Amino acid sequence: MLLAIDIGNTNVVLGVFDGEKLVENWRVGTNTQITPDEYAMIFKDLFGFARIEFTQIHGVIISTVVPPLLPVMVEMSRKYFKIEPMVVTHKLKTGITICTDNPKEVGADRIVNAAAAYKRYGGPLIIVDFGTATTFCAITKKGEYLGGAICPGMKISAEALFKRASKLPRVELVKPAKIIGSDTISAMQAGIIYGYAGLVDGIVMKMKEELSAEARVVATGGLAELVSSETKTIQEIKPHLTLEGLQLLFDINR
């Protein structure tokens, strides 16, 4: 079995694969103060619920946008799985060509998403990832990763409203019943959810002008399902796209 680990700014997403099949997956909070031993304890508990043993894991692959946690996860893999993990960088074989000005700057999660989506759908392709930041990636028909756009995620925006506007509360990110909010909380929820739907459509349409009007638009990330149904441009939601990409990269590079 393969353990795929995607370390994001908000969550660490784990997936266990048996071949190409995703057997189980979990999300735990990202914490740069946790030691390799503490993360191993968390993993052990999660594995226990799924009746998976550490000894069943024969490969580990890690992608991260949180540099301080990379050595923590590498040490955890070496100590508890007895495995030298594969780490995602722009140097791995991916099935796509990174054509940005500085490939080293491209986030590991964006590389993984692009590789997985291109293998599944081909190009041209636009990937929208709803995470701590909302990112947009453009891939050509030939598999060229051109770059994209990055904007603050919904949680960041909601938190900014709470912290910078003294009379606005912290709100739950759920879809309100209507766009015209009759109270402060529903008005904030409407602005964030429907505002982001409009933001996504606006950026995607602009990207299609430069990439291709035929580009397929795929969404992923923890908040994808909340927003995608309110957009006009997103055609499909793939919640496990990053994990699938990690499995693909491991298979290509091992």
**Single-letter residue type at 92:** L
Q: Which two tokens stand for residue 158?
A: 């909601």
The rounded distance, in Å, linking the Cα atoms of 20 and 54 is 19
Q: What is the DSSP letter of 161?
A: H
**How far are the Cα atoms of 5, 32, 194, 213 from residue 250, in angstroms, in the given order?**
12, 25, 37, 32
- Angle at the Cα of 227 (from 223 to 233), degrees rounded to 5? 125
Name 238's Cβ contacts closer than 8 Å, sequence gap at least 6.
Answer: 116, 117, 120, 218, 219, 220, 244
Locate the DSSP E strands across the chain: 2-7, 11-18, 21-29, 59-64, 86-87, 97-98, 125-130, 133-139, 144-152, 216-220, 236-237
User: In the block, which residue shows the tokens 């929820």?
Assistant: 189
Residues with catalytic roles: 109
